[in-house]
Amino acid sequence: MNYNWNWGILITEPYMGWIFSGLGWTLLVAISAWVIAFTLGSVIGIMRTLDQPILRAIGATYVEIFRNIPLLVQMFLWYFIFPELLPEEAGLWVKRGIPMPEFWTAVICLGTYTASRVAEQVRAGINAISQGQRQAARAIGLSPAQVYRYVLLPISYRTIIPPMTSEFLGIFKNSSLALTIGVLELTAQTRQIEEYTFQGFEAFTAATILYIIVTFIVMFFMARVEKKVSIPGVTSIGAK
C-alpha cells in the first residue's frame, strides 16, 4: 500500500476547524437529544408503572414502536416522510421555515428513540423497589404523586445511573447517523476531509480518539455523580 501519511493535516486549517466544528455539532446534537430522551423517557417510564391501564398502554405502545424500528429508518421517516404527512403549510415550514431543519430532525429522532430506551430503565428502576417500601410511603399519608416525588424516583434514579450513562453514550455514538440527513457532525466532517485531501486514515484516527476521549470524560463524570449520590449504609438498593 502506497499511502502518504501526513498527520500535519490535522492541524492545518481549514481541516482542523472542520474537525472541531464537527465535534461541536456532535455534542450539540447529543446533548439536545438527551434533554428530550431524559424528560420524555422519564414520563413514559413512569406512566408504565402507574395504576391506570390506559396510561400504561400508551407507555408500552410508545416503547414498542420507537425501540423496534431501526434508528436509520426513523431518521429517514422523520426527515423525508414526516413533513409530507403534515398539512401543506406546516410541512413546508418544517422543511424550509425552521432554521437548520436537519439538526432539529436529528435531535428529535435521536431523542424520541432514546426516550424509549430510557423509559425502560426508569420503569425497571421503579419496579425494583419493594412493595413494602411503596406501602410504607402510602401508609404515612403521602399522595400518589408525592410517593413518586419523594420516595420512588429519588431511589430509582440513583440505581439506574450506570445504564443511563450507557444510554447517553448511545445517543452520542448514534449521533453519527445524523450525517445521513446532512448534519455536518464529527463523522461527516471526517469524511469530508478524506474527500478533499485523501488523508482519510489521519482524519478517522482523530475522530476515533475524540469519540473515545468524550466517552471517558462522560464515564468519569458519571462515576463521580454516582459516588456523590450514593446512600450511606446501602450497597445495593432493590436487592431486597
**Which residues contact other proteins by CB under 8 A?**
130, 132-133, 135-143, 146, 150-151, 154-155, 158, 231-234, 237, 240
Residue length of the chain:
240
**Distance in Å, CB of 152 to other proteins, minimum:** 10
Residue from 194, 210, 157 nearest 26 by CA = 210
Q: Which is nearer to other proteins, 6 or 135 (CB)?
A: 135
Q: Which is nearer to other proteins, 2 or 235 (CB)?
A: 235
Residue from 172, 202, 187 nearest 8 by CA = 202
Residue by residue, DSSP assigns 29-65 as HHHHHHHHHHHHHHHHHHHTTSS-HHHHHHHHHHHHH
Q: Which is nearer to other proteins, 127 or 130 (CB)?
A: 130
Q: Which is nearer to other proteins, 73 or 229 (CB)?
A: 229
**Distance in Å, CB of 140 to other proteins, minimum:** 4
**Distance in Å, CB of 132 to other proteins, minimum:** 5
**Distance in Å, CB of 218 to other proteins, minimum:** 24
In angstroms, rounded to a whole number, what is the distance separating the alpha carbons of residues 113 and 226? 25
Are 171 and 110 in contact, with CB atoms under 8 Å apart?
A: yes
